[in-house]
Structure 1
Amino acid sequence: MKRILVPVDFSGDSLRALRFGIYLANKLDCHLRMIHVQKSEKFEIPFHFEELKNEIIHTVQEYFDKLIKLHSADYCVKNGVFDFKIRTGSVYREIVNQAKYGDAFMILMGAYGASGFEEFFIGSNAVKVVTNATCPVITVQKEFDKGKLNTIVMPIDASTETRKKIPFVAEIAAQCKATIHILGVHETSDANVIGKIENYMRQAEDYFKEGNINYVKSIRKGENNTLSSLDYAREVDADLIAIMTEQAESSINMFFGSYAQQMINSSEIPILSVPND
């Protein structure tokens, strides 16, 4: 059975990610594993739980136990194992290593975490995890309050790598009964570039038809593919935007380097980043 890994630092962002992770674990019939990374062996009390302010708690393990007990109705993995690991060291390295050696299907994490707003400027652990992980990563900024994943926006550009996310997006959409918006995005009027994008969109359409997955198609030209994708996703009230972690560096690329960070930091909609492997 597949496993979703959710980093938990007891911040609001990480708990929002946990709820989304449990929803997906139940839809995809996955195990769910939480991971908490300590910077040192010394126990530091997490700041988030007002409900536990009068509790005497000595270890991170006790916090996990209290978390599960306190919110057992919210935190229920129906068909898989729900457990946790505690690691010490570099936050993003330990998360990436746990995902790799624990054979995680996906990482799902808060975009900022405990250190919050400052990470917008210095580069968040979320971006480092996305950049280094060998499995797909979903980053979450706000509460998953709909209770359903209905709409996925999948931008398609002219790079050959852009198509590699199609099977993974299709798997999630099929299990969640979501509609995929195949969104062609370009920053040029070059007919060859537009023709390539339209061809890739047709390939995605054929794949989704074969899998009986609901989809719609649209194509947009803008000054910035990232902003075009975000604007469209907001218009259709998307629940998830699926991108590639890395794409070829060119005048038409999307989400390369700082663009990936821009997406994670700028989007209130969860971002699914699929590695280019």
Structure 2
Amino acid sequence: MNTAEIQNIPGVPDYRCTAFAPRRSDYCLLIPVINEGSRILTELGRAQKAGIDRLVDIVPCDGGSTDGSMNPDTLQLYGVNTLLVKTGPGKQGAQLRMGLHFALALGYRGVLTIDGNNKDSIEDVPAFLAKLQEGYDFVQGSRFIRGGHAVNTPPLRFAAVRLIHAPIISAAAHQWFTDTTNAYRAYSREYLTHPEVRPLRDIFMGYELLAYLSIRATQLGLRACEVPVTRAYPASGKTPTKISGWKGNSELLKVLFAAAAGRYNP
């Protein structure tokens, strides 16, 4: 086990990197998490059962969990390659920047991302890899296209994505996307290192980076597509999400309009 402190890099939050194994793949799967408890462990178990840990290097990007779910000894049992723990400021966007910095520094050819709350079909990772290998630069997972499955999606969330978020993102990107709030995606190294993209900037603290990266690829003439995935919400009980209430949804809308207006472009 090798642990390093990454500090004072412009556009990158300070973080701690603990490697359990050397790089084994050309691709890594970043999983932003914070206090996901049994959900992330169940997700990692599904990935291991499907052999995903043999196709990509799995890298949880922890925002500072205190629930014991990011115990290094446990993560090694689930086939995790490296654990990143953010020690600097920021929320989801900072966790993603931490992961992207790690992935680009290690020379990965492509980066996949997925939420850590066990809602997404992590078994579909090979579909994303296939599109990256075909030369696509941005691959968006969608529950709404043929072959995808939207299970127990809250009606308000369904309407917001289909009637507001997806049309606005698609108009700005000049290409139709159907599931634009879905963080299950893949990016090529060429996209992430394009001089007119620059994802490693402190402006991306919350949800800004996801919206921005949905739009920027096709604006620059890069290739983008969607692949079918399943996103399943629990049939009962609390909905596992970081976006809830008036404040969370209003912040998401502000980010959406700012991204569409080009305010995050370098």
TM-score by length of 2: 0.36
TM-score with structure 1 length normalisation?
0.35
Larger Rg: 1
Hey, which of these two has a bigger chunk of helix by percent?
1
